[in-house]
Structure 1
Amino acid sequence: MSVVDGRASVLTQDDFEELARHAIRTNEALRLEFVNGKLGVKAVPDGDHGRIIAWLTQICIQSRQGLWLFPDQGLRIETYRKGNARPDGALAPIDTFVGQGEWASTDGVLMVVEVTSGDADTDGRDRVEKPRAYAESDIPVYLLIDRDTCEVKVHSQPDGERYEVVVTVPFGKCVALPDPVGIEVDTEPLKDWVH
């Protein structure tokens, strides 16, 4: 963001990427995103958060050979506002991000995953803004593991503005991650990793 004649100008994607690079160099615990035209800071994941991502990674690679759940891969999202998100996981073929920088294209991404961290921005960010941004980016599946409500929400069938189908199940039930993911997940273990 720059100041012109005493007024702050709009943060551009290039400005954001420079700011994010600087933030990472000065504070590794800081995770910045630029979603829905707003700068956001994600909470640093706790141990249970990391265990959930490890659990889901194991399920994905055992179920679908050649895929990997990339933790914290920066993605360029949103066609309208040009945003940047760092989902907790991005499921894609193993070579999808080869040769790309910190902020990669969403081409080839089958699913993005967010695990709530209990911070003040979770409601707006993970439950409202990110589903819209991921749908605008035409990512086929958005999986929200909501530790606050003890539910899993599977968003699918993006129409360019939103996901047309959202399936919600409580922790402990099985849920299908629809094609192109095509994996059935028993969410029982998630009960052990809530705060």
Structure 2
Amino acid sequence: MTVMAERASSQLSVDMFERIAEFVFREDETVRLEFINGRIGLKKVTNGNHGELIMWLVRRCMESRPELNLNPTQGLQVEAYRKGRALPDAVLTPVGHFAGQGDWADPDGVLMAVEVTSYDSDTHNRDRVEKPRGYAEAGIPVYLLIDREYLSVVVHSHPDPKEGYRVVHTVKFGEKVTLPDPVGIELDTEELRRWAD
């Protein structure tokens, strides 16, 4: 569940946000904060099905591309998107890419950002509108959205900093989909039906 608090970007600096986020995580490891579109988002720990979907994808990526890591904990600086700080559900990069970069890494070199929808009131704006725009503006080649509400996998590619992702391909759970270059992984999404709730 995500609770959003409106903040004007002039009222809260990115440095102040990072200090607040670090403090909150030290005090309560069940929540993480992100700062997108001038708003602070509180991301609570997800349910077991959400985690199973991410781990399924981690295994598929490791099997297909062992030279890559799918990191489920790395935050990104999405500077082009109003000096935001995004917490993707997972980020695909070459092994060792984030070494020494801290909690909020530069998105340069990220091959794919992944989000799995939650069942909360902000999912549509966060995962289907704001994050694809932010990831495209940051130049991340592929954005993968596993949409549990619509039982679909949405692959965004060919980012344009001004227009967002120019190619969006949707398949229903149960179909095969190929994640475009530079990812180059084929997924059989049949198993995703088990964790749609």
TM-score tier (shorter) = over 0.9
C-alpha displacement at 1:8, in angstroms?
A: 10
Q: TM-score, normalised by structure 1?
A: 0.93
Task: Confirm or deny: 8 A CA contact 1:13 1:83 kept in the other structure.
Answer: yes
String of CA shifts for 1:10-60, please: whole Å, max 9, x gaps: 211101101100110111111211111211122421111111111101111
Within 5 Å, which residues of 2 pair with 1:118-133? Answer: 118-133=119-134
| 2:161 aligned with 1:165 | no
Q: May I ask how many residue pairs the two structures share in their alignment? A: 189
Within 5 Å, which residues of 2 pair with 1:91-106? Answer: 91-106=92-107
| 2:153 aligned with 1:152 | yes
Counterpart secondary structure, 1:131: helix
Match of 2:182 among 180, 183, 195: 180
C-alpha displacement at 1:80, in angstroms?
A: 4.7
String of CA shifts for 1:61-105, please: whole Å, max 9, x gaps: 111121010002111013151110110000001111001111111
C-alpha displacement at 1:166, in angstroms?
A: 0.4
The residue identity in structure 2 corresponding to 1:73 is Q
Counterpart secondary structure, 2:170: strand
Larger-Rg structure: 1
The residue identity in structure 2 corresponding to 1:175 is V
Question: Match for residue 136 of structure 1?
Answer: 137
The residue identity in structure 2 corresponding to 1:187 is T
The residue identity in structure 1 corresponding to 2:188 is D
C-alpha displacement at 1:9, in angstroms?
A: 5.0
Task: Confirm or deny: 8 A CA contact 1:68 1:92 kept in the other structure.
Answer: yes
Structure 1, unpaired ranges of 5+: 1-6
C-alpha displacement at 1:169, in angstroms?
A: 0.8
The residue identity in structure 2 corresponding to 1:63 is S
Q: TM-score, normalised by structure 2?
A: 0.92
The residue identity in structure 1 corresponding to 2:177 is V
Question: Match for residue 21 of structure 1?
Answer: 22
| RMSD (CA atoms) | 1.5
Q: Distance in 2 between the 1:21 and 1:52 partners?
A: 27
Question: Match for residue 3 of structure 1?
Answer: none
Moved over 2 A (4+): none
Question: Match for residue 52 of structure 1?
Answer: 53
Counterpart secondary structure, 1:101: coil
Structure 2, unpaired ranges of 5+: 1-7
- Once structures 1 and 2 are overlaid, which stretch shifts more, 167-176 or 71-80? 71-80
Q: Distance in 2 between the 1:69 and 1:8 partners?
A: 31
- Structure 2 CA distance for partners of 1:191 and 1:80, relative to 1, 3 Å: closer
Q: Distance in 2 between the 1:25 and 1:43 partners?
A: 14
